[in-house]
Amino acid sequence: MVMTAADAGGSGTNAAHDRATTLAERHFHTLFGRAPIGIALVATRHRRIVEANEAYAAIIGRTLEATRGLDWADITHPDDLAESLSNSERWLAERQRESDQVVKRYIRPDGSVVIVSLKSADLTSDDDTEPMHLSMIEDITERTLAAERLADSERRYKLLADHAGDVVLLVRDGTIEWVTPSITAMLGYEPERLFGTPTLDIIHPDEAQTVLENRARLNAGQQVRVRARFRHTDGRWIWIEYTSRPLLRDDGTPEGSAVSTMWNIEAEVEARAALAAAEAERRELEASVQRATRLESLGVLAGGVAHDFNNILVGILGNTELALSQLPPDSPARALLHNVATNAVRASDLTRQLLDYAGHRPFDHRGPVDPLRVIRETLELVAPLLPRGAFVEVDLPDQLPALGCDRGQLQQVVMNLVINAADALESRPGRVRVRASVRHLDRPEAIKLAPSDPPEPGDFVEITVSDDGVGMDESVASRVFEPFFSTKADGRGLGMSAVYGIARASGGSVDVESAPGRGTTVRVLMPTVPGELGTTIVETSQPPSVEADADPPSRIDATSVTVLLIDDDDDVRQVCELMLKMSGMRVVSCGSGAAGIEHITENPSRFDVVLLDMSMPEMGGEAVLRALRSIEPDLPAVLMSGFSAVNLHSVLSDLAVQGFVQKPFRPDQVVAAVRAAAAR
């Protein structure tokens, strides 16, 4: 093949063009790769990044390899995604050559957010089947955050300036000549509106005299500081404190003008009022705690007195009965001893009331009890006892939830409240109102009701008894639950104390509200039994008693019975020992649990029955009985206590106790219980 000169020249030109093209492409790739901004070639329709430079990959926090093939939607911040997709679709549909510059956020692999300025350019030609565009991003995170910080700083400065509490004004002869714009934020007035206004026109009348007195001091050249209420444009009175300085002439004399600086002290005044209220509440709470502590101390004292008194009554009643048993039927002393026994029984009623107050007398029968039925029955029972002028108003719902309390003690609560309310009328015509409802107590309400020992939150039946009587002042009302405190000449002071003790023992509380001449309202709250309101309540019979029968079995020979008697009280021990010996039994008497255990240890089979007091120092009756049973498991036991058998039911059942007698008791009761236990 022969090549002409023209052919040679054309070949050289193509080679040069190819070299130039290659060089241009190399420069483009160099420029693309080293550009300070992020550049990426993106498939428009599929949103895939075909190629990107190092800057682009660095901005989005990835390597080049990880960047290629990414869907830019996957790295777009969720809050910006909808807008970005909408912009992309619109740009694709309108075939724009360039997009608007936008600001958006990308999420880096480590979770951090980068803010970029984005602009895109369409690279698609008419022959291309896949639209492509060039995406250029610049990291503007720091710039944006700095701008936001600056804007936030400016906003805070403006907010501070706009809301500064201090106001400066110029006053001449009591008239406002000039005031700063901040007066608008303080009192609502536009500054111009106040020019020429006498200050007394916007000051509360109660503070006018104080302002005039301080104006006289200003005119004498003194600086003053005043607190007064200023009228807001909306009609409110705002507490303002201001300091005024007189303007002086060259010779030092006042010229009649003053510059005042004002600031809003409404929050301070409110805070002081709140503190005063809180302090008053604290004092009231402290007084409530002191009252509760005093009542608790009195309860401990009353419980101890009742326990000791019961032991004394055992001696009185026991010795009296024993003396009666040794007198001939026609002895004149029998009537006297009968009177002693009768009075001992009456005294036992007093100990019962003391135990009620102390919360130590157990419920003889815990519910479920229908409070509506008990209230109605008690009102019928008490009606004949009320003064003629006392009119009882009853407001009871159709249904109330059951109470888990003792029916007799609930009846005692209602009776004491109604009789006390009627007595408060002092024989004058008046009304006694009896209401009952369900009340839910949350923890704060429970603490407010009884700060020292609040009831557990929950549902309560609230029995309210109010009267139109003379009422009580605070000093009397604070002592109304104290035992033996009464405002009545013939009162024993145990009615309301029993109400208090019964309510607290049930897990409830009592609240009294009274004032002289305004009557008294007493609210007793007792916890409900869980269940639906209004359920029909079947009041169960008395639980099985472990007390001995009055008539002992005759098949046991008393002379063959040896009794181990354990009681720390000398009088009780002496009476019981005499009772048992007079019936023919042999008795070994011990003053402590330890002594009784020692006797059993020495000779386990010697004793047929143990007669044991439940309340003893150092080692209580339950612990003693467990120790005795560990030595002699089949030893029959009869327990003595000032509490009822129901309160000791779990102990009696657990230890298989054969008998129980409640103090104070008669000789025949003790003898019967011991003989019955020995027969078993």
Q: What tens digit of pLDDT does each residue of 112-152 get?
A: 999 999 988 888 776 667 788 888 999 999 988 888 888 87
Residue 98 lies in a domain: yes
CATH number at residue 450: 3.30.565.10
Residue 533 lies in a domain: no
What's 104-172 look like in SS3? EEEECCCCCEEEEEEEEEECCCCCCCCCEEEEEEEECHHHHHHHHHHHHHHHHHHHHHHHCCCEEEEEE
**AA letter at 170:** L
Ramachandran area for residue 239 (φ above 0: left; ψ -120 to 50: alpha; else beta): beta
Q: What's the pLDDT tens digit per position in 557-589?
A: 677 889 999 998 888 888 888 889 988 999 999
* Residues 504 and 572 both lie in one domain: no
pLDDT category of residue 49 using cuts at 50, 70 and 90: very high
Residue 523 lies in a domain: yes
Mean pLDDT, residues 608-624 taken together = 87
* Residues 595 and 454 both lie in one domain: no
Looking at residue 497, its pLDDT comes to 74
Question: CB–CB of 552/658 below 8 Å?
Answer: no
Res. 170: pLDDT tops 80: yes
* Residues 588 and 669 both lie in one domain: yes
Looking at residue 257, its pLDDT comes to 85
Looking at residue 10, its pLDDT comes to 52
- The share of the chain scoring above pLDDT 90, in percent, equals 19
Mean pLDDT, residues 259-271 taken together = 85
* Residues 384 and 354 both lie in one domain: no
* Residues 228 and 345 both lie in one domain: no
Q: Which helix (H) or strand (E) holds 514?
A: strand 509-514
* Residues 95 and 178 both lie in one domain: no
117 Cβ contact list (under 8 Å, min separation 6): 101, 102, 103, 137, 138, 140
- What's the CA gap between 240 and 227, in Å, rounded? 6
- The share of the chain scoring above pLDDT 70, in percent, equals 78
* Residues 255 and 303 both lie in one domain: no
* Residues 319 and 426 both lie in one domain: no
Residue 6 lies in a domain: no
261 Cβ contact list (under 8 Å, min separation 6): 166, 167, 168, 242, 243
Domain that holds residue 193: 164-264
CATH number at residue 245: 3.30.450.20
User: What is the sign of the dihedral through the CA atoms of 365, 371, 374 and 379?
Assistant: positive
Looking at residue 89, its pLDDT comes to 84
Residue 10 lies in a domain: no
- What's the CA gap between 655 and 390, in Å, rounded? 53
pLDDT mean across residues, the chain: 79
Residue 22 lies in a domain: no
0.75 surpassed by pTM? no
DSSP bridge pairs for 235? none
* Residues 319 and 460 both lie in one domain: no
* Residues 345 and 377 both lie in one domain: no
* Residues 323 and 390 both lie in one domain: no
Looking at residue 547, its pLDDT comes to 36
The domain tally of the chain equals: 5
Looking at residue 548, its pLDDT comes to 36
Prior bond to 368 cis, omega within 30? Answer: yes
Q: What's the pLDDT tens digit per position in 508-519?
A: 888 888 888 888
Residue 366 lies in a domain: no
Which of 144, 177, 209 lies at the terminal end of a domain, its last residue?
144
Looking at residue 29, its pLDDT comes to 66
Encoding tokens for residue 519? 């009557």
Question: Highest mean pLDDT: which of 258-272, 329-343, 543-557, 599-613?
Answer: 599-613
pLDDT category of residue 461 using cuts at 50, 70 and 90: very high
- What's the CA gap between 456 and 446, in Å, rounded? 7
Lowest average pLDDT, out of 65-69, 352-356, 624-628, goes to: 352-356
Res. 321: pLDDT tops 50: yes
Res. 621: pLDDT tops 70: yes
Encoding tokens for residue 665? 């008791």
Residue 481 lies in a domain: yes
DSSP 198: B
Which of 96, 114, 144 lies at the terminal end of a domain, its last residue?
144
- What's the CA gap between 600 and 327, in Å, rounded? 37
* Residues 343 and 379 both lie in one domain: no
Of 56, 68, 42, residue with least CA distance to 133: 42
Which of 144, 173, 196 lies at the terminal end of a domain, its last residue?
144
Decide which of 478 and 439 is more confident. 439
